[in-house]
Chain A
Amino acid sequence: MGAPALLLFLSFYLYPALQNLQFATRRWDGISEPENVGFRNFTNLLTNDDLFYKTLGNNIEFTFLVVVFQTALALLFAVYLVKNTKTTIALRTLYFFPTILSSVSVGMIWLFLYDPNFGALNLFFNGIGLPSFALNWLGSESSALYAIAFTQVWFHTGQMMVVYIAGLQQIPKELYEAAEVDGASRWKQFTKVTWPMAMPTTLVVMAYTTIQSFRAFDLIMVMTASTAGPNNSTSIFSTLVYFTLFNELRLGYAAAQTIFMVLTLILITWLQRIAFGKRYEK
């Protein structure tokens, strides 16, 4: 009964994934005869491509920022809203709301908020007498990636908060009661009970957020006008692959780039497990 699903998965996931390995050893514009170049795409990427290193750096920085801030905020709001009352449920519903929007819509909303001339953000900073904070957020090399990272966190914090709330509600109440009897402060209760008990959830949230951050493609396409930002400052792997494929018509080179994308993703997830996972795994 699993046969139809398996057939699709083999034809359009596993087979392409293997074919991708083969593509990566070719020089090919997708039309003329492909030329076999061995590992030259890989060596070129590693030794002769500044954009590749810039993208790698951007992607790691972007993922790091999004994972740290989104996980921290999601946990904070989960702690604040863990009890089921009318107010907390209403706030959860509101915080979760951006998740149901499309990334294109979210990108357009923030495109306006960040707009240097008309944007509400600069209107706000000028209004409270801090005009030096009114920047060309998406148009300048130093802030574009951070502006998009902030939007990504805005987009999905509510979703991860709900995941955390489900995790926190599993923690036995007796642990908190015992801690209170011992006179532990709220902060102590958090570090000694909540944080370690929520560790399995934290790992799930971080892994999910990591994969999600690699998919920020849509946001970047909308917010930096189908480019990789000023001077490629918002180039991450998915945009790099897309532009290599469509603008430069270098299929083999794009295929080699996706392999590095996967390796980076696996490496980051693995590092998270080492940093947080080991001590708490069953």
Chain B
Amino acid sequence: MQLTLGPVLYHWSPERWRDFYYRVADEAPVDTVVVGEAVCSKRTPFKQDHIPGVVERLEAAGKRVLHASLILVSLPRERRQTRELMQAEDAEVEINDLTSLASLAERPFAVGPFVNVYNEAAAGFLAERGAMRICLPPELPLPTVATIAAALPQLAIEVFAFGRLPLAISARCYHARAHKLTKDNCRFVCEQDPDGMPVRTLDGAGFLSVNGVQTLSHGCASLLGDIPALRDAGVASLRLSPQDCDMIAVARLYRDVLDGQVEPGEGERRLSEIYPDVPLANGFLHGAPGHVRMGAGGAGLGEMG
């Protein structure tokens, strides 16, 4: 199985963002790296200047690079950005919204986890139009993943295996709202929270995480214990979604568990050291609430607050 590093969903400073990818190029055992801004079009200009250098460095290191499109496209500038990305030469794209299909020239593409692929017929529809790989929505249970992978052996099927789960996208910016600002005058306050703004219940339980217009889970996906089942299901790749922790160590750990160098249980213990104070969750894959952590046999290991 391969490893894919998903796009940084948070608003990191341009220098930090660039240096992160330089380090990924030099040190992370991942096969594919998705770059670009998927969450908020207002953030795009900050990254634009660094993208060519980052791509060059990643490709020189032998990584396959995909360019992420925006998740929610409604403004004219967002349509323009999407169209330009779809028509850019030499750039392999990962579409996060079907808007992209309207302007995608006839060439192969990847599908990100924000496109609603819930069954083999939808996956087949996209494959007919040139989809080569699909990262399925995080919400899907294992039997669905297996059915889609079995029906479309020519597609590389990927699942969301590490990181806070992206749960919703909105026109409203909840970072701006929390700071009593509006989206148009947001002052990029989301940059203050490189791992998202924590949202707790009124009695203090960790619940969600706000990233501008996006809402993520408090819990962090960990499918380390599910790797044998995912392999049996025909999954070709695991997606690691960057968090504010040592992602090189995360990638190495996933590689080691995939290669049988580290037992899954030991892997999860180490993962909790690399990304401390965040509960691990794999409920979606087991058809349970997404925040739940289940053992490999399907037994609940207790709910994570």
Q: Do A and B come from one complex?
A: no
Residues of chain A at the chain B interface (Cβ within 8 Å) = none
